[in-house]
Structure 1
Amino acid sequence: MRKYFALFLIFFLSACAIKPTQTKTQTAHFALLSPEIKIADAGFLKQNKQEIKLELYKLAHLILKLKIDKKICANQACYPKLAFNAKYFKNYYYEDFLSDILLAKPLFNGKNLEKTHCGFKQKINSQNYEIEYEICDLKISFYEKKNKIKIILKRIN
């Protein structure tokens, strides 16, 4: 009887086991410069199917933990994605705007996209913003002129 119970318990517990999601981790230098915040340090960019995390360290201390899934959380303060964009980028843009930058994807569905020898660049202008965005090899550069916001992310192999 104990053998059957042990066998049942093993099958029951293994059926409930959660497979870990595979996380891709890259070392990176990250800089965010705006009138409200200036931060430039090294850290890790982690991504899996459910979320993106950016962790920045200074002298081995975590100074910024940015997590993007259904919301964007910065050091435990969470915001809906559009509210985060409005607060930190001074425009609502679209929900996956920051994710697209961190993952080196074209912005605004590839609007004004120009292929380059090492990636692509975009210049997107409207009444509220003037964006220059470039992906070249392992470097991401984002500059929004009207609100003076700059993001630079350089992945390290």
Structure 2
Amino acid sequence: MIIVLFFSGCAIKQKFTSEPVRFVFKTKSIKVAASGFLQRGRSLKLQAYGAGQPLFELILGKRVCINGRCMSYAMFNEKVLSPFYPSYIIRNILESKPIFAGKNLEKRGDGFFQEILDERFAIIYRVTKKGVYFKDSKNKILIKLKELD
């Protein structure tokens, strides 16, 4: 009895949700368009499968891991996105949160819109209940997430 109480009482229960999504992740080094799952918990995990095999996995925790290769958020921006972005921009995008500390934020209906123009980037970022759209036309980056019903 004591053993059961010990193991069940001390177990840390991690809450997470898993949503089916269709996504596009297109950068200079990654090009993926697939259906998969976005899991939210202590870390974020975006996964795509094809014929039962993992095709793409992005995990955002203390570090960013792509298909098992991990790096800092700053290194991820440098190698995958843009070195001029704030460190945690990818996490904000996948969590549907404002980017660049809410710069040029416009509330719209069930979400918000941001347009951020600079000599280093030209970003359109839109969040609604149904999904996320992030496009940087200067750096040729497109990230789209749409919930599947």
Scaled by the length of structure 2, the TM-score of the pair is 0.91
Give the corresponding residue for 2:49: 57
Runs of 4 or more consecutive aligned structure 1 residues displaced over 2 Å after TM superposition: 7-16, 34-37
Relative to structure 1, the CA distance from residue 45 to residue 10 in structure 2 (aligned partners, 3 Å threshold; closer, same or farther) is closer
Rounded to whole Å, the distance in 2 between the matches of 1:12 and 1:116 is: 50
Q: Work out whether 1:32 is the aligned partner of 2:19.
A: no
The one-letter code matched in structure 2 to 1:93 is: Y
1:1-157 aligned at under 5 Å gives the runs 7-16=1-10, 18-48=11-41, 50-157=42-149
Is the 8 Å Cα contact of residues 28 and 43 (structure 1) preserved in structure 2? Answer: yes
Scaled by the length of structure 1, the TM-score of the pair is 0.87
Rounded to whole Å, the distance in 1 between the matches of 2:106 and 2:75 is: 30
The one-letter code matched in structure 2 to 1:69 is: G
Deviations 1:4-52 (A, max 9, x none): xxx5544544454x2221111100001012233211000000011x210
Kindly report the root-mean-square deviation, in angstroms, between the aligned alpha carbons of the 2 structures. Answer: 1.6
Relative to structure 1, the CA distance from residue 14 to residue 28 in structure 2 (aligned partners, 3 Å threshold; closer, same or farther) is closer
SS in 2 for 1:89: coil
Aligned length: 149
Unaligned runs of 5+ in 1: 1-6
Tell me the CA shift for residue 155 of structure 1: 1.1
Is the 8 Å Cα contact of residues 123 and 133 (structure 1) preserved in structure 2? Answer: yes
Tell me the CA shift for residue 53 of structure 1: 0.5
Deviations 1:61-115 (A, max 9, x none): 2111111110000111000011101111122422221011011111112110112
Relative to structure 1, the CA distance from residue 13 to residue 20 in structure 2 (aligned partners, 3 Å threshold; closer, same or farther) is closer
Larger radius of gyration: 1
